[in-house]
Structure 1
Amino acid sequence: MRHLRQLFVCSVLAIAAIPVGCTADAPDDAEQESEVGSLSLALVGNSSSGATYRLSQAWFDIYGLTARTIYGGGDTPALTEVLPVGPYDVMLRPGWVLERWTGGGYQPVSASLTSANPTWVYIGEGATSTVAFQFRADGDVVSVGHGRLDIVIGVDDTTPLREDTDVACSNGYDDDGDGRPDCSDPDCQWMPFCGPVGEDTDWECSNGYDDDMDGLADCSDPDCQGYPFCAPVREDTDWACSNGADDDMDGLADCADPDCQWYSFCSPWREDTDAACSNGYDDDGDGLADCADPECQWMPYCMPVREDTDWTCSNGADDDGDGFVDCSDADCQSQPYCMSWREDTDWACSNGSDDDADGLTDCSDPDCGWLPVCAMPGLVIEDFEDGDFLFSAPYAGSAPPFTGPWVTYDDGTVPPVNLFSVPGPFSSTALAAHSPGVPSASGAGVTLSFDMWPVDVSSFQGIRFHIRGQGTQVRFDVGTLLTTPEGGLCSACYDSHGIDLWVGTEWVTVELRWWDLIQQGWGTLVPFEPWSVMNLNWRTPVGQPLRIEIDDVQLF
């Protein structure tokens, strides 16, 4: 007896965490499975601190076997899109907004996208895949998009097989067994694959061709009259509302046109950011400037000085003016500097002392087990302990292919950058790159350029190094064949995959996974390929003096 079988692979929002059971009968020879899946992106997620965030004003471009664009607004908890089986790239367009739940509503926050964009995913038949985008906001790491494939597969054996879908009409088979495959079957005549070429999309109405062969091309064809390319010029974008012209010819230019009233250029100035609350001006014109304006009361610049951080509790000053200095102030009692000695920092776990007096010293103390200094050693590329500085600039001391010279570079406005040795974080030797000048064109820094190019680091999770500076931003990036001119594959080169670090005056250990590194976006957009690494770079941006000290560079 012929019967109906359906297989369900269920999708559940990551934030709901509700298990759903799925069952299926055993297949028979007559069944055919659908070669499509659903890509599901959750737009609400939680950070590691437990805060809830949502992504709004988000446009996603999906391209692979087919191309789609989907949009998620502030009231959209998840997006689902049906796609043919195969590989895809999912790209989040600029203009997205990350919002944080405050208990009474969502509030936009300043955030940066730290995951790869675009993100690769494979839509598998009968399988489950995950796409996630990660952001950093207010010190939180937020992941959204933990969606799963939503695939429904069905075969109805109670009626004859049909050939009236776009998939069935383009697969080269006579699916319903009537002797007429694909577009030769009348059942397929209304399917997009078999339908006549039209001229009723924005692309077809702007390509310079008469696509539907009716003698009228593009905007001269009535079929195109409602499409953006052929629509009259409008004055409802930030650019059109600030160019000094009456774009839509209604007699009202820019901010005088009601169409412009909601755009940024025409909206009233606000005074609710740290910059606006500290510039000495009444930015929003309400008669109250900076900290005198109630809108500024929660901004860091206008908040009262406090004495409840490790730095303020150890500087010898009465920061909050309550008559109690440092550890004598009750506000400092929970800060590390004022607490009893502990042995759970990189420094305390490497100084040869039993700091917490528990009879266990440094890495033999379980409190130190999870710190980088006590972690299993990786492949050391350079520790600057092999006498490189005796005769010339240092040369990477690891075995090939991880060898090559350390070189400096600048933008031509910096006095020559000096390379020399300084004491490292653990009484060892470290590399220092200093220049008193301030670069004004493209920055300055230091590079390790490998002799054997390209170098394959795909068997390692990432890179670890010690670094010290002077309280400025340092950009670390990794050049590959796809981002350097030597590969011959980039038209706008040197936009390497990397990350911006804030480097203080004390030694810190930085540990980065390859997937933490992203491009800045001004060059040729390409995926990160760990098997084609050309160089490692540390640099300061334009406007900041160069002062970088590095030690113990290793892969882990």
Structure 2
Amino acid sequence: MRYLRQLFVSAVLTMAAVPVGCGPEAPGDAEQASDGGSISLALVAGGSSGAVYRLSNAWFELSGPTHRRLHGDGDATEITEVLPVGRYDVMLEPGWVLERWSGAGYVPVEAGLTSPNPLSIVVRQSLLSTAVFTFWVTDDVVSFDQGTLGVVVAVDDVTPAREDAADACNNRVDEDVDGLVDCADPDCQVQPFCTSTTPLIDDFEDGDFADALPRANSFLPFIGPWATYSDGTIPWIEMFPVAGPASPTALGISSPAVPSGSGAGVALTLDVWPADASAFEGIRFKIRSQASPVRFEVGMFPIVGNGCSPCDRHGVDLSPGPEWATVEVRWSELEQEGWSGGSWPFEPWSIVDLRWHTPAGQPVGFEIDDVELF
């Protein structure tokens, strides 16, 4: 397991029709909705060793179609609340205490929250959804199912969580619970992408063309395959090595025909996404083209809270010439294409892919090199 010495507290949502009435037991928000559900947050877990854990002084703030603030004290085993359907952010507020039963009473244990906080959940009619708060804790293995809600709690006893591995330094999570996330944590300074002032995504000097599928593998998490794509009106697009502006190799893209639909080009699709580039102003690359314009686009997915799945692309039109030139695109310059039917801001922490393409009616023929963040 990646999180070490962890306690998983699952908040399970069970959907049901909520009766609407004007009696004293009908919640005010439920009176306004014909369909609803309930959220149940487990606070107690039993361990295979006989130990029992509980989360006390737990305040949960729910924001969504309605706003609720729920409290679990030392005597509660769970919290249940009726809610209208919709998307909610569930925040575990500071001040919680994790305790273990000692035989004579509950005793606080050392623990820390490692999961994202708040968590985003969706209450849907007749479906079961789960939000999981993750903690690190000590010495026990616990697996617990409670009632019909399927509440699960588990503890894995290994070693304290660390934040210095490549994947731990790129996931927006504070694994070692020191208040510092990813590259802001000194432990992550062993990773080259946390120390580089100009993180290189690909300079096409790392054996990209040794195999049939070129890959970018210079800067985590911006690793993945390069691939061509088109609107289907041209026979094929070719990727091939060309001489770079100041290096042996760059990436060339060409087709023997001109697309007549929406265009064609090349994309870097990330192996692990979303990739977080919010610490940078934008992206820089070298480009030249015999055909103009070339459009550069960034895909992003998902954005919590706006119902966008996936969100459409944000991009900018370029006018490269036949000579190599360096282009810098700031995140603030990207404009939404607008095909998703909504208006979503560009979020640089949720990048899925990078694309360069020529539009319909333009020959597919350009070259790129030295793709990096700045």
In proportion to residue count, which structure has more strand? 2
TM (normalized to structure 2)?
0.45
In proportion to residue count, which structure has more helix? 1
Structure possessing the higher relative contact order (Cα contacts under 8 Å, 6 or more residues apart): 2
TM (normalized to structure 1)?
0.31
The structure with the largest alpha-carbon Rg is 1
